Amino acid sequence: MCIHPGLNKALISLILLLSLIHPDRSLAEGKVSFCAVGDILLDRGVRKMIEKNGVDYPFERTAKYIHSHDLAFCNLECPISDKGSPVSKIYTFRGDRAFVEGLKRSGFNIFCLANNHTLDYGREALLETKEILQENGFYTVGVGKNQIEASKGRIIEIKGVTFAFLAYVTMPLEGIAYTEDLPVPAQADIEEILQEIRRMRGLVDFVIASFHWGVESSPFPSEKQKEYAHLAIDNGADLVIGHHPHVIQGIERYKGKFIIYSLGNFIFDQKNREGRETFIFGCSFGGKKILSPYVIPVMIEECQPRLAFGRDYKRIEI
C-alpha cells in the first residue's frame, strides 16, 4: 500500500503544528474541516483501561487534534447502554452509559452505528445508544427504528455547507434475526444504497458514504468493496469511508474522489502490530470540492491512539 498522490504525507508536520497552536480553529478558515477515523471499542481491554484510568483515557492523546475539526467521524464498534442482554455470538461488546462522558471530550461529533456489533445487546440497547448520543449533541448515522429510517442519509449543515452522511453494514448480523420493521443498523442492498445516494446528491453539497465491509485482517480490499465504492462515486458520492477489517487497506483516488477502504482501528485492544497501526484522514470541503486531503499516521498503545513519530511514522504504510 502507499499514500496516493494528493495525500501529501510531508504536510503532516505542518498541519499538526498548526492544529496544536490553534486547536479551536478550523484547519481551513471559511471552509469546513473534516476528519475520519476507524473503529472505536469501549469494552473488553479498553474497558479495563477506562476503569483504571478514567473515561477520558482513550482520547487523551488525540482529543486536541480531533477537536480542531468542524466535523469528526468515527465508527462506534459497540452499543453504550445499561440495557439488554448479550445475543448468541462469539464476541459481544457493550460500553457503559457513563462512557459517553469521555466521548463528549473526544472531539468526535458524528458516530456511525452501522456495524456488526451495534446489536450485540439487542434492539433496546441499540435504541438507547442512539438516544444517549443524540441527547449529548452528537450526530448518529446508519441506525433507525426500522430499515427504512436506518438507510436514510443524515443531512448536516455547517458554515452554510450541507452534507449527507450515509452508513451501511454489508455483512449478515450474527445472533439476531434480520427484520425490516424493528430497530436495526442499515443493511440495504446496493441498488437501494445507490438510490439513496442519488436522492441525497440532489439535496446537499457533499455526500459521504460509509461502509462496514471487507474481510477482517486482510490488508487489501475485496473486489466487492471496489465495486461498491466505484458505484457509490459513480452515483454521486464525494467520499467513501470504510471500516471493519481492523487493519489499514489503503486509499484510492477514483474520478477525482477518494475511497478509504479501511481506516483500521482507532481505539481498540488488539495486540498485533497491524491492528495497532492506523491513521486519521482529513480534508476540507469548500467550493463544491474536497480540498487539501491528507493522512496522519497513528499508533495505538495500551488501547490509546497517539500520533506516530520517528520509526513508527516511517513504518506505517497507507
pLDDT digit string, tens, across residues 111-163: 999 999 999 999 999 999 999 999 999 999 999 999 999 999 999 999 999 99
- What is the span of the domain harbouring residue 38? 9-315
CATH of the domain at 103: 3.60.21.10
Burial 74-91 (b: 16+ CB within 10 A, else e): bbbbbbbbebbeebeeee
Is residue 208, in this structure, part of any structural domain at all? yes
* Mean of pLDDT values over 270-286: 98
Examine the pLDDT at 266 and tell me if it is beyond 90. yes
Is residue 1, in this structure, part of any structural domain at all? no
Examine the pLDDT at 21 and tell me if it is beyond 50. no
Is residue 202, in this structure, part of any structural domain at all? yes
Cβ contact 206:238 at 8 Å: yes
Is residue 97, in this structure, part of any structural domain at all? yes
Predicted pLDDT at 30: 60
CA distances from 246 to 126, 273, 318 (A): 22, 11, 14
The pTM (predicted TM-score) of the whole model is 0.92
Residue pLDDT, tens place only, 197-242: 999 999 999 999 999 999 999 999 999 999 999 999 999 999 999 9
Predicted pLDDT at 15: 45
Examine the pLDDT at 26 and tell me if it is beyond 70. no
Is residue 51, in this structure, part of any structural domain at all? yes
Give the chain's end-to-end CA distance (angstroms, integer).
6
Cβ contact 114:143 at 8 Å: yes
List the one residue out of 244, 285, 284, 250 whose CA is nearest residue 266: 244
Place of cell 486519521: 280
Average confidence score pLDDT of the chain: 92
Is residue 188, in this structure, part of any structural domain at all? yes
Examine the pLDDT at 6 and tell me if it is beyond 80. no
Amino acid at 179: T
Cβ contact 318:64 at 8 Å: no
Is residue 60, in this structure, part of any structural domain at all? yes
Q: How many domains does the chain have?
A: 1
**Among residues of the chain, what percentage have pLDDT more than 70?**
91
Examine the pLDDT at 20 and tell me if it is beyond 60. no
C-alpha cell at 252: 484510492
Residue pLDDT, tens place only, 38-56: 999 999 999 999 999 999 9
Is residue 223, in this structure, part of any structural domain at all? yes
Place of cell 496544536: 20
